[in-house]
């Protein structure tokens, strides 16, 4: 048997060997994760905590469940959302998608676009209907029924002694609070593979009949941005008990044509009563009560789920999550900002895994509450998903890539309708791939190359024939549209991009020609698509090579890049210096190419840094700026951008990127932060500088491992 002394000698020998071979120091991942656990000590409506698995998430208040949703509805709401949970109001007036189309002539022929209409009438009503339908559902609230000695419901101000902590290492929320002299302890977690919440409650209030569990089910509002909760129309939906025994009950929810099921399983005796329509109370008899609540879109099998399975599965999943992939440790840094940057990065990993790693591209507010009716925006898919590959968790990116294949025929029909080849990826959409009418979104184009960019990251992490076979068709179809969309100008012998609203959305489709980011993205994506053809044993397309070679140069004036070729007043007109400084994406998000001059881009970065209207920006603008600064050799600005003190660069206690009173959370900001952080550590192809995004002033001793370089 080895003694402790023997083991110490072995450990010392191993340490000396590692040092002698200049091995990088391993990060203590448990310490890294645990020191960033969010803690809550009051009903802070911007500090609600979530648990989930990428396809399903539940957000709870300071009690550990969804006890006081009305307090949080205008802040970070207490959502229960899934990827499959969608609903449409009845189309009683039989609107058709074709009624939302309007012709635009940008290239010598009519191109029908799905748009919103200014004039009241059937077309406007049809567009409004298809924007709002389908919309994502709030599946239901699981809360505590807390009462006083007289049986009256308690308000939140009667609760004291709140101590709540999200244990990131295990994906579990622990909540403690007191009512009078009675303390309550609740654990909550979500199963990693099922749409199932587990809760374990210990409280003497149960035996006193003052703590029960309630289940409340709203009708959807169909509003643009809200918690998707409407309580005033109980007659529009049904909640039925379709099965019940001593340890389980199944509820069936019917909302127009949408049907789903809620299975509640519990240990110990409990009785169920219906308080009002869609409001049920589960009354346990023991001071220790454990239950699970699972949501399914199909009738569930009637077996009993044991709560330990969920907590154990959650713990195992999250420990594996944190121990695989990349990690960045800032504990050796002496810059006073380092701890906050580590907190943001660590919490962003968790949030993106539970909110933005599902089978569909995510909505901008994830699975917490509805923005843009719960629909997702494909131009944001880059910001939501690219970091998964750079942090060496490519499987989480691939979950949503299959969706493109399922909606390919719709994307092809959009391109064909407008006179183009290939597949044109829609902007604002839903699981079916339906095109939501929009005065802006229908003219955006920078979502188009994302599929190629993400497929390339997947291949870089797994350069195999299997990956080529899986994605090559859609890479080709995506590039096919891009090639047909570019217009050849015979008089000047160049290809131009026009008839678009660029990433900087303050520009107009009728005026915009050759925005620099989109031009650079066309160059990058078509070049990659040619490589994919070669990898697949196919010949390069000569017409694509011609396009790549003859793309228009980026327009500039006085050594600064313009917002677009027609925007000659870029640096005088506030319209061109608000919203996204998208020009920086041309050398930041994207690698250097022949279209971009580094000196002009450096001048542009410096001008934007000093003069941009930063109060009119979005959360991903800061990591985009950081990536550009890093590529241009300005790490001070790279770090400064990530930590710039602006409202839309605020990160809440729970890690969410706050924007404004409408968008209290904004996950593209979190995803962008992770992408920028990975690039600032691991660099990009051709980079030879260690940790290129961090200053070399001795204050940024950043330790990292498992990250991948950007293209």
Q: What is the DSSP letter of 282?
A: E
Q: How far apart are CA 105 and CA 705, in angstroms?
A: 51
- Sole residue written with tokens 């454990």: 290
Give bridge partners of residue 487 from the DSSP assignment.
496
Lowest mean pLDDT among 192-206, 294-308, 601-615: 294-308
The pLDDT value given to residue 24: 65
Query: Peptide bond preceding 125: is omega within 30 degrees of 0, i.e. cis?
Result: no
- Do you find a cis peptide bond into 394, omega within 30 degrees of 0? no
User: Using CA atoms, how far apart are residues 205 and 211, in angstroms rounded to an integer?
Assistant: 5
Average pLDDT, rounded, for the chain: 95
Q: How confident is the model at residue 41 (pLDDT cuts 50, 70, 90)?
A: very high
Nearest to 383, CA basis, from 472, 447, 455: 447
**In the chain, what are the helix, strand and coil shares in percent, each to the nearest 5?**
35, 20, 40
Does pLDDT of 19 surpass 90? Answer: no
Distances (CA, A) of 1 to 6, 10, 136: 9, 14, 61
**pLDDT single digits (tens) 348-394:** 999 999 999 999 999 999 999 999 999 999 999 999 999 999 999 99
Q: What is the pLDDT of residue 678?
A: 98
Domains of the chain: 40-88+135-321 (2.70.98.50), 97-132 (no CATH)
User: Which pTM value belongs to this model?
Assistant: 0.95
Tell me how far apart the alpha carbons of residues 574 and 665 are, in angstroms, rounded to a whole number: 27
List, for residues 152-199, the tens digit of each pLDDT value.
999 999 999 999 999 999 999 999 999 999 999 999 999 999 999 999
Q: How far is CA 484 from the centre of its chain?
A: 31
The DSSP letter of residue 701 is -
Instruction: Using alpha carbons, select from 491, 643, 631, 516 the residue that is nearest to residue 567.
Output: 516
Unique residue bearing structure tokens 């050796």: 332
Q: Which residue has the higher pLDDT, 222 or 4?
A: 222
Q: pLDDT digits over 474-492, tens only?
A: 999 999 999 999 999 999 9
- CA nearest neighbour of 441 among 66, 116, 3: 116
Over 80: is that where the pLDDT of 4 sits?
Answer: no
- Kind plus residue range of the DSSP H or E element containing 123: helix 122-132
First to last CA, the chain: 51
Q: Contact 330/339 with Cβ under 8 angstroms?
A: yes
Cα–Cα distance between 670 and 652 in angstroms, integer?
Answer: 11
Strand partners, 626: none
pLDDT band at 506 (very low <50, low <70, confident <90, very high): confident
Q: What 3-state DSSP class applies to 21? A: coil
User: Residue 189: enclosing H or E segment and its boundaries?
Assistant: strand 182-190
Q: Which residues pair with 86 in a beta bridge?
A: 136
**Nearest partner of 159 among 1, 13, 43, 57, judged by Cα:** 43
Residues pairing with 238 in the sheet:
254
What residue ranges in 124-228 does DSSP mark as E strands? Answer: 135-136, 141-146, 160-167, 172-179, 182-190, 196-202, 211-216
| Cα–Cα distance measured from residue 270 to residue 526, given in angstroms and rounded to the nearest whole number | 62
Q: What are residue 430's phi and psi, to 5 degrees?
A: -145, 180
Q: Which string of b and e fits 419-456 if b means at least 16 CB within 10 Å?
A: ebbbbbbbbbbbbebbbbbbeebbbbbbbbbbbbbbbb
pLDDT band at 303 (very low <50, low <70, confident <90, very high): low
Mean local confidence (pLDDT), 77-100: 98
CA distances from 580 to 106, 241, 427, 591, 624 (A): 24, 50, 17, 19, 9
Distance CA 702, CA 390 (A): 17
Which residue has 């041309």 as its token pair?
586
pLDDT tier, 507 (very low <50, low <70, confident <90, very high otherwise): confident
Q: φ, ψ for residue 69 (rounded to 5)?
A: -65, -30
Cα three-residue angle 506-507-509, rounded to 5 degrees:
130
**What distance in Å separates the CA atoms of residue 146 and residue 430, rounded to the nearest whole number?**
38
Q: Where are the beta strands (DSSP E) in 474-630?
A: 487-489, 494-496, 556-557, 560-561
Lowest-pLDDT range of 72-81, 405-414, 560-569, 702-711: 560-569
pLDDT value of residue 173: 98
pLDDT in tens, 313-337: 999 999 999 999 999 999 999 999 9
CA dihedral sign of residues 685, 625, 454, 506: negative
**Do the Cβ atoms of 504 and 579 come closer than 8 Å?**
yes
| pLDDT, tens only, 369-382 | 999 999 999 999 99
Nearest to 179 by CA among 198, 153, 197: 153
Token pair 């904004």 in the structure block, residue = 666
Q: How many helices and strands, by DSSP H and E, does the chain display? A: 18, 30
CA–CA separation, 439 and 432 (whole Å): 21
């Amino acid at each position: 048997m080895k003694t402790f002394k023997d083991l110490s000698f072995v450990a010392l020998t191993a340490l000396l060997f590692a040092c002698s071979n200049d091995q990088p120091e391993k990060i203590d991942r448990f310490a890294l994760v645990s020191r960033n656990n969010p803690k809550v000590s009051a009903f802070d409506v911007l500090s609600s905590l979530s648990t989930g698995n990428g396809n399903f998430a539940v957000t709870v208040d300071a009690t550990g469940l969804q006890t006081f949703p009305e307090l949080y509805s205008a802040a970070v709401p207490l959502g229960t959302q899934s990827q499959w949970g969608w609903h449409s109001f009845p189309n009683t007036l039989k609107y058709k998608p074709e009624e939302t189309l309007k012709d635009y002539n940008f290239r010598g022929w009519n191109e029908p676009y799905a748009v919103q209409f200014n004039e009241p009438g059937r077309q406007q009503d049809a567009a409004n209907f298809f924007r709002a339908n389908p919309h994502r559902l709030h599946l239901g609230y699981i809360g505590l029924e807390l009462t006083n000695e007289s049986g009256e419901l308690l308000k939140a101000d009667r609760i004291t002694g709140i101590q709540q902590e999200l244990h990131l290492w295990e994906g579990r929320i622990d909540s403690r609070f007191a009512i009078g002299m009675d303390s309550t302890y609740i654990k909550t977690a979500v199963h990693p593979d099922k749409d199932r919440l587990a809760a374990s409650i210990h409280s003497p209030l149960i035996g006193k009949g003052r703590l029960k569990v309630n289940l409340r089910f709203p009708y959807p509002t169909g509003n643009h941005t809200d918690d998707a909760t409407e309580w005033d129309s109980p007659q529009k939906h049904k909640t039925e008990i379709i099965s019940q025994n001593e340890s389980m009950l199944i509820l069936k929810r019917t909302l127009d044509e949408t049907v789903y099921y809620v299975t509640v399983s519990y240990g110990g005796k409990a009785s169920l009563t219906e308080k009002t329509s869609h409001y049920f109370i589960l009354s346990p008899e023991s001071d220790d009560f454990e239950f699970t609540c699972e949501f399914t879109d199909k009738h569930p099998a009637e077996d009993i789920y044991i709560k330990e399975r969920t907590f154990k599965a959650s713990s195992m999943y999250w420990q594996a999550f944190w121990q695989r992939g990349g990690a960045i440790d800032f504990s050796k840094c002496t810059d006073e900002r380092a701890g906050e940057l580590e907190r943001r990065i660590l919490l962003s990993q968790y949030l993106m895994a539970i909110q933005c790693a599902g089978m569909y591209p995510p909505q901008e507010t994830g699975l917490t509450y509805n923005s843009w009716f719960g629909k997702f925006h494909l131009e944001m898919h880059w910001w939501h998903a690219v970091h998964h590959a750079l942090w060496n968790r490519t499987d989480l990116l691939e979950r949503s890539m299959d969706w493109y294949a399922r909606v390919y025929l719709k994307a092809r029909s959009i391109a064909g309708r407008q006179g183009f080849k290939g597949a044109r990826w829609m902007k604002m959409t839903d699981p079916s791939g339906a095109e939501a009418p929009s005065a802006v979104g229908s003219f955006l184009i920078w979502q188009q190359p994302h599929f190629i960019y993400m497929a390339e990251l997947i291949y870089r992490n797994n350069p195999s024939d299997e990956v080529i076979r899986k994605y090559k068709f859609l890479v080709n179809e995506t590039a096919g549209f891009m090639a047909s969309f570019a217009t050849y100008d015979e008089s000047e012998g160049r290809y131009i991009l026009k008839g678009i609203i660029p990433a900087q959305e303050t520009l107009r489709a009728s005026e915009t020609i050759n925005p620099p980011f989109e031009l650079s993205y066309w160059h990058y994506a078509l070049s990659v698509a040619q490589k994919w053809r070669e990898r697949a044993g196919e010949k390069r397309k000569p017409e694509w090579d011609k396009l790549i070679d003859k793309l228009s140069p980026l327009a500039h004036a006085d050594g600064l890049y313009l917002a677009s070729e027609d925007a000659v007043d870029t640096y005088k007109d506030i319209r061109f210096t608000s919203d996204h400084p998208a020009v920086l994406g041309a050398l930041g998000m994207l690698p250097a190419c022949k279209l971009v001059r580094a000196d002009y881009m450096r001048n542009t970065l410096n001008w934007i840094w000093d003069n941009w209207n930063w109060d009119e920006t979005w959360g991903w603008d800061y990591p985009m700026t950081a990536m550009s600064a890093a590529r241009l050799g300005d790490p001070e600005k790279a770090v400064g951008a990530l930590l710039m003190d602006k409202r839309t660069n605020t990160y809440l206690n729970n890690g969410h990127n706050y924007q404004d009173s409408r968008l209290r959370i904004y996950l593209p900001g979190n995803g962008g932060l992770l992408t920028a952080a990975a690039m600032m550590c691991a660099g990009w192809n051709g980079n030879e500088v260690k940790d290129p995004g961090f200053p070399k002033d001795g204050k940024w001793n950043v330790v990292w491992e498992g990250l991948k370089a950007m293209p």
